Amino acid sequence: MEYRYQPNGVCSYEMIIEVEEDTIKKVTIVGGCAGNTKGISKLVEGMKIDEVIEKLKGTPCRDRGTSCPDQLARALEEIKKNK
């Protein structure tokens, strides 16, 4: 199933997340720091949703109080809640 998420407080403006059961199949982050977002996307592919949330939630970027990794964790929490 494909989910779309609009992150808040970061440079990226859309996250497209493909999930099969409780496993992340693919993540595409539109906008943001290209190297970082592509790296994050590749690292989380094949991982369980809960594991990614645990590792990425609360990761800060400068003084924003959030980051692209944190926003990805929030998107995954939303996916879990709406399943």
The model's pLDDT over 45-57, given as tens digits with 9 standing for 90+, comes to: 999 999 999 999 9
Instruction: List the domain boundaries for the chain.
Output: 2-82
pLDDT at 14 over 90: yes
pTM: 0.95
In terms of Cα–Cα distance, which of 1, 2, 29 is closest to 15? Answer: 29
pLDDT band at 83, cuts 50/70/90? confident
64-74 confidence digits (pLDDT tens)? 999 999 999 99
Spatial separation of the C-alpha atoms in residues 67 and 78, rounded to whole Å: 16
Could you tell me which CATH number the domain at 2-82 has?
3.90.1010
Spatial separation of the C-alpha atoms in residues 71 and 5, rounded to whole Å: 9
